[in-house]
């Protein structure tokens, strides 16, 4: 039985996902709540190996369908090996990206048809759904500036055209509009402190909802 809950932090490249997640992890630890931090693609040994294949900048010849199925394979392993067991143990799971990213990037941005993507996601997830998707919404141009200022090279998916990234952004917003119970959009153009404060408020509301008897703090 699922006793914990899963919060996904998602959104445009460079929107501040990793920054927010670090703040959420610190907040949970401070409250004495056990948390499992993870990411997609990745999260398990097998899924991290698949991640390396997906993000490898030396293989631009990867077809869209290959990419989609690799994401699905990584997710199937991730959910069964790591996420569901952690939730059954009453832990909080925080993931840097999850299934909403597949809809945004592979469907809205790359144009793979929705039925195919829904099928792959269903095969990977069964009836599993995260409890909340926090979407950090930011103009991709601003996101790219942030990534560049981080001083690392761009991976295969970050090095995409701006138009593509704009469509992915719209994909997140459409999903949020269609499922307001499971999506919360935060304006990521705000300062780090503002974004984190709003993200922590969301996390605290999830804690109150899922642990009504309280936590040991």
Ligand X SMILES: Nc1ncnc2c1ncn2[C@@H]1O[C@H](COP(=O)(O)OP(=O)(O)OP(=O)(O)O)[C@@H](O)[C@H]1O
What is the binding site for Mg ion (CB under 5 A)?
A: 17-18
Q: Toward ligand X, which CB reaches closer, 84 or 139? A: 139
DSSP string, 125-148: HTT---SEEEEEE--HHHHHHHHH
Q: Toward Mg ion, which CB reaches closer, 21 or 132? A: 21
Residue whose token pair is 């141009």: 141
Q: Provide the CB-side half-sphere exposure for 24 (13 A, CA).
A: 31
As a whole number of angstroms, the distance between CA 74 and CA 87 comes to 19
Which residues within the stretch 177-196 sit at the binding site for ligand X (CB under 6 A)? 188, 190-192, 195
Closest approach of ligand X to the CB of residue 211, in Å: 27
Task: Give the per-residue contact string, 92-131, with ligand X (x = CB under 6 A; - = no).
Answer: ----------------------------------------
148 binds ligand X (CB under 6 A): no
CA 209 to chain centre: 21
Q: Is 3 helix (H, G, I), strand (E, B) or coil?
A: coil
As a whole number of angstroms, the distance between CA 214 and CA 208 comes to 7
Instruction: Choose the stretch contacting ligand X; rule: CB under 6 A; options: 9-17, 28-36, 107-115, 209-217.
Output: 9-17
Partner touching 178 among Mg ion, ligand X, none, CB below 5 to 8 Å by kind = none
Residues that bind ligand X (CB under 6 A): 13-19, 146-147, 149-150, 188, 190-192, 195
């Amino acid at each position: 039985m699922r006793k914990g809950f899963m919060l996904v932090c998602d959104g445009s490249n460079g929107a501040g996902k990793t920054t927010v997640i670090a703040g959420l992890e610190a907040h949970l630890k401070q409250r004495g709540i056990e948390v499992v931090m993870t990411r997609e693609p990745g999260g398990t040994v097998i899924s991290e190996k698949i991640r390396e294949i997906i993000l490898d900048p030396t293989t631009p010849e990867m077809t869209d369908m290959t990419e989609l199925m690799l994401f699905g394979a990584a997710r199937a392993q991730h959910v069964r090996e790591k996420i569901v067991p952690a939730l059954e143990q009453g832990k909080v799971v925080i993931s840097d990206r999850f299934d909403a990213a597949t809809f945004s990037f592979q469907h809205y941005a790359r144009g793979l048809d929705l039925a195919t993507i829904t099928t792959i996601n269903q095969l990977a997830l069964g009836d599993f759904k995260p409890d909340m998707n926090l979407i950090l919404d930011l103009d991709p141009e601003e996101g790219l500036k942030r990534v560049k200022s981080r001083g690392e090279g761009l991976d295969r998916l970050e090095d995409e055209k701006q138009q593509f990234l704009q469509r992915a952004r719209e994909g997140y917003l459409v999903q949020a509009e269609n499922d307001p119970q499971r999506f919360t959009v935060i304006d990521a153009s705000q300062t780090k402190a503002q974004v984190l404060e709003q993200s922590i408020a969301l996390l605290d509301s999830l804690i109150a909802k899922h642990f009504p008897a309280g936590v040991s703090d």
